[in-house]
Structure 1
Amino acid sequence: MKETTSKKAQRWRKKILESGVDLDMNPMVDMAFLLLTFFMLTTTLTRPFAMELIMPAEEKQQESERPAIKASRVLVLIPYKQDTVLYYQGLPEGDFKKLLLYDVQQTENFFTAFKNSVKDPVIFIKPTASAPYETVVHTIDALNNHGLNRYALDELNDQESKFLQP
């Protein structure tokens, strides 16, 4: 069977092959520039989430050179589990008290009472090895929210580690 094509069909086919495809690129270019502007704005307007910590120099001071601190001015916070902080004021005697960071009222009352009762407090944050990073950050945030901006990050000593043993 022989296929016959009409002259009209041949002209139509030739016209399509010669003219090529007419593609409008304007919507795609518009979308590209909108996305580009969106990503540029979102990356420049976001604030960094880095926390500023000032760490002391690695100088070894002898015990006699260190200034004496009254035990009543010292607060030790031990981030322990998810949103749970153990603390003691003064010297570690007996059991630690528990502070729940997700309990806003308890946190507010505790830090307000501590700030009002102690002049020039000395605050140590001593996270355990198993403490989640978020809990340490929440602890520092809670201190900053209550105007207690001077604190030190430290490691647990042997006496505190013994109290934490089950």
Structure 2
Amino acid sequence: MAELDTGGGEGKGKKVRSKKSNPGVDLTAMVDLAFLLITFFMLTTSLSKPQSMNVAMPDKNKDLPDDTTEVPDDRTMTVLLGKDNKVLWYLGQFDQPLIPPTATGYGKEGIRQALLQRTAAVKQVYGDDREKGLIVSIKPSDKTNYKNLVDILDEMAITKVQLYAIGEISDPEIKLLEEKGMY
């Protein structure tokens, strides 16, 4: 409320002025509205789901059977992961490869092209059966970073290779990587 100064005797020629107070703005309604809007948008927006790839890994506790399945050499491709985003692959067994070890990189012009060519060649010989498709053995070295392993798994998904496994790299394969300057 405004007050009226009716003071008398001191300033007889002065005007009588009222005290001016600053008007206050009540922000309670605006804060309530802001919280209602924040709550509404939090409940109605969908959060992005993390992307993951399913990898079936065998149990470590179970004993593996002693029998082995013979697989033709022209269906098995081994991919060795080296340092500096380099990949070395060969077809068949290490001692007598059908295609000698070939160095390449990741991406469309690298290992993906080799995977697509080998998958097409295996389909030509064995048909479209999943059980008769290309089998890829992925062997990362201790110089490989985690990103390269994820990249090669992405390449498996892109090229639709159905049968692949992640295994341990052998000493002769490490020596081969050293010879190629990839270890």
Whether the 8 Å CA contact 2:134–2:162 is kept in 1: the answer is no
Task: Describe the superposition over 1:73-109 as per-residue Cα deviations: whole angstroms up to 9, x where unpaired.
Answer: 111112223432211111124873122113x134443
State the Cα distance separating 1:128 from its structure 2 match.
Answer: 1.1
Point out the more displaced range, 68-77 or 85-94.
Answer: 85-94
Whether the 8 Å CA contact 2:90–2:102 is kept in 1: the answer is yes
Matched positions, count: 154
Larger Cα Rg: Structure 1 or Structure 2? 2
- Structure 1 segment 82-101 matched on structure 2, within 5 A: 82-93=84-95, 96-101=101-106
SS in 1 for 2:82: strand
Task: Describe the superposition over 1:45-84 as per-residue Cα deviations: whole angstroms up to 9, x where unpaired.
Answer: 312222211112233335x412122222111112223432
Seen in structure 2, the aligned counterparts of structure 1 residues 50 and 146 have a Cα distance that, compared at 3 Å, is same
Q: Which amino acid aligns with 2:26?
A: L
Give the corresponding residue for 2:10: none
Whether the 8 Å CA contact 1:75–1:124 is kept in 2: the answer is yes
SS in 1 for 2:163: coil
Looking at structure 2, the residues matched to 111 and 135 of structure 1 have their Cα atoms a distance apart, in angstroms, of 16
Q: Which amino acid aligns with 1:111?
A: L
Seen in structure 2, the aligned counterparts of structure 1 residues 12 and 144 have a Cα distance that, compared at 3 Å, is same
Whether the 8 Å CA contact 1:82–1:135 is kept in 2: the answer is no
Point out the more displaced range, 130-139 or 25-34.
Answer: 25-34
State the Cα distance separating 1:34 from its structure 2 match.
Answer: 4.1
Give the gaps of 5 or more residues in structure 1: 1-5
Does 1:152 pair with 2:165? Answer: yes
- Structure 1 segment 1-166 matched on structure 2, within 5 A: 7=5, 12=19, 21-39=24-42, 44-58=46-60, 59-61=62-64, 64-93=66-95, 96-102=101-107, 104-118=108-122, 119=126, 120-166=133-179
**Where is the helix percentage greater, Structure 1 or Structure 2?**
1
Whether the 8 Å CA contact 2:79–2:138 is kept in 1: the answer is yes
Give the gaps of 5 or more residues in structure 2: 7-15, 127-132
TM-score by length of 1: 0.72
CA RMSD of aligned residues (A): 3.1
Q: Which runs of 4+ in 1 moved over 6 A?
A: none
TM-score by length of 2: 0.67
SS in 2 for 1:61: coil
Looking at structure 2, the residues matched to 41 and 92 of structure 1 have their Cα atoms a distance apart, in angstroms, of 56
